[in-house]
Amino acid sequence: MVHPIHANVVSWIVIVSLSCLLHGATGQLTFDFYKTSCPNVDAIVANVTLALSKRDNVVAPAVLRLYFHDCLVEGCDASILISSTPTNVAERDAPDNLSFPQNGFDAIVEAKKAVEAACPAVVSCADILAMAARDVVVFSGGPRWAVPKGRRDGLISRAARVEGRLPASSFNVSQLVTLLSTVNLSIEDLVVLSGAHTIGFSHCNQFSKRLYNFSSAAKTDPSLDPTLAASLKASCPQVGGSPNTVRGFDATTPFAFDNSYYRNLQNNRGLLVSDQALALDKRTSPVVASLAASQEDFFFAFMQAMVKLGYTGIKTGSQGEVRRDCRAFNARSNT
C-alpha cells in the first residue's frame, strides 16, 4: 500500500527539522549524530522493527505506546525498558495498570542487539526506541520522519515515580492539558498525539465504567454511540469477562495508521473517556475537526509532535549512559 503522502516525505523532513529550529527545540540532538560511529543505525533498527511487526501485529502499537510512556516518565531516556530486579521495582511494573505487551519490549531489545553487533556501545536505547516508534508508524501506513538523535539512557527507573505522570483513561480535557503541560506539550500536541490511538487496543477495565456505571444519571455514557456501546458490552460483560479482553481503539481499522480516529470521535465512537472528550471540549474539538478533515494535515502534525515529544527531559553529552542491554543499567549497583 503506497500512500501518495510519501511523495512529500523529503520536503516534510526539511520542514519538520526547520520548524524545530524555529521553536528552539534542537541543538541538543542531531539527525546525523551517529554518522561516523554507526552510519546504518536507522536501517538496522528499521529492519528488525519491520520484521518483528510483520510477525506479530501487537508489536507496532506496543512500541508506539512505549515511546510515549518512556518520554512522560523521567524523559525519553529508555527508563521504561529497565527490568525490575530484587532490589528495584522498575517503571514498567508500576501499579498504575500499564499492561504493556512483552512483545514491545522484546522488539527494542532485539533492535539493540542488531545495533550492538554492528556498532557496539555507541547507540542509546532511548534513540533506538525513538527510531522504532517512527518505524512502526511507517509499518502501519503512516508518515516517515527523520529522528533527531543523541539521547543518553537514564539511570533511574522506579515504579514509585510513575504515579501522577501519566494520563488516565478517565481524564477530562482539563486534566489532560494540565498533565501534558508539565512536559511542555500543548493542547494541539495533545490532540495530535492522541491520534496514535488510530492503532492498538485497550483492555475492558479502561472503559467499562462508560458501559455500566457512568454516572448516577446514566448507567451508559450518553456520549458513546449506542451501537458501539452494545458491541463493547458484548465483549466486556459486567461480570465474568476475562481481564485479558481487549478492543481496538479504532473499531474498523485497528492496524492502519490513518485519521479515522478523529472521524470516529466525531461520530461518538471514541473508546476511552479521554478520547471522546477531545471531540466534546471546545478547546480541542476544532483541532479534532481539522485532523478528521485531512489525513495529510494529521500526518504532518503527527510527525512534528512526535519529534517534539522526543525532546522531553532528554539526557545528552555526558549525562546518563549508553546502555549495553536495554533491560539493565550498565552498573547494576544503580538498581
Least distance from ligand HEM to the Cβ atom of residue 306, Å: 7
- CB within 8 Å of 139: residues ≥ 6 apart: 49, 50, 53, 54, 60
Reduced to 3 DSSP states, what percent helix, strand and coil does the chain have, rounded to the nearest 5? 50, 5, 45
Distance between CA atoms of 83 and 53, rounded to whole angstroms?
22
251 binds, among ligand HEM, ligand NAG, none (CB under 5 to 8 A by kind): none
Q: For residue 120, report the phi and psi dihedrals to the nearest 5 degrees.
A: -65, 140
Q: Beta-strand (E) ranges in 124-209? A: 201-203
Q: Letter for the amino acid at 181?
A: S
How far separated are the first and last CA of the chain, in Å rounded? 45
What is the H or E stretch that residue 9 is in?
helix 9-22
Q: Is 198 annotated as a binding residue?
A: yes
The reply, when asked if residue 220 is annotated as ligand binding, is: no
Residue 3 is among the residues annotated as catalytic for this protein: no
Whose Cβ is closer to ligand NAG: residue 47's or residue 334's?
47
Chain contacts with ligand HEM (rule: CB under 6 A): 61-62, 64-65, 68, 99, 101, 167-169, 171, 176, 190, 193-194, 196-197, 199-203, 206, 272, 274
Q: Which residues pair with 153 in a beta bridge?
A: 321
Which listed residue (102, 178, 213, 231) binds ligand NAG by CB under 6 A?
A: 213
Which option in ligand NAG, ligand HEM, none does residue 167 bind, with CB closer than 5 to 8 A by kind? ligand HEM
* Cβ 35 to ligand HEM shortest distance, Å: 27
Q: Which residues from 47-66 bind ligand NAG, rule CB under 6 A?
A: 47, 51
Bridge partners of 325, per DSSP, are 328
Q: Residue 244: exposed, middle, or buried by beta-carbon count in 10 A (0-12, 13-18, 19+)? A: exposed
Give whichever of 157 and 276 is closer to ligand HEM, judged by the CB atom. Answer: 276
Q: Which of ligand NAG, ligand HEM, none does 312 bind, CB closer than 5 to 8 A by kind?
A: ligand NAG
**161 contacts: CB under 8 Å, gap ≥ 6:** 73, 74, 91
Q: By CB under 6 A, which span of 44-52, 62-70, 101-109, 320-328 interacts with ligand NAG? A: 44-52
Q: Please check if 325 is assigned to a binding site.
A: no
Of 256 and 328, the one with the shorter C-beta distance to ligand HEM is: 256
Copy the grid coordinates of residue 307.
Answer: 519529534
Which one of the listed residues 6, 23, 69, 203 is annotated catalytic? 69
Mask: binding to ligand NAG, 173-192, rule CB under 6 A, as x and -? -xx-------xx--------
CA-closest candidate to residue 134, choices 126, 121, 125, 143: 143
**Distance in angstroms (rounded) separating the CA atoms of residues 157 and 94:** 10
The site partner of 44 among ligand NAG, ligand HEM, none (C-beta below 5 to 8 Å per kind) is ligand NAG
197 is in an annotated binding site: yes
Q: Is 295 helix (H, G, I), strand (E, B) or coil?
A: helix
Site for ligand NAG in 114-173 (CB under 6 A): 172
DSSP state of 156: -
**Which C-beta is closer to ligand NAG: that of 258 or that of 279?**
279
Q: Which does 289 bind (CB under 5 to 8 A by kind): ligand NAG, ligand HEM, none?
A: none
**Grid cell 525513538 — which residue?**
130
What residues contact residue 193 under an 8 Å CB cut-off, 6+ apart?
68, 185, 302, 305, 306, 309
Binding residues, by number, are 70, 73, 75, 77, 79, 91, 167, 197-198, 250, 253, 258
Catalytic positions are 69
Binding residues for Ca(2+), by number, are 70, 73, 75, 77, 79, 91, 198, 250, 253, 258
What is the binding site for ligand NAG (CB under 6 A)?
A: 43-44, 47, 51, 97, 99, 172, 174-175, 183-184, 205, 213, 312-313
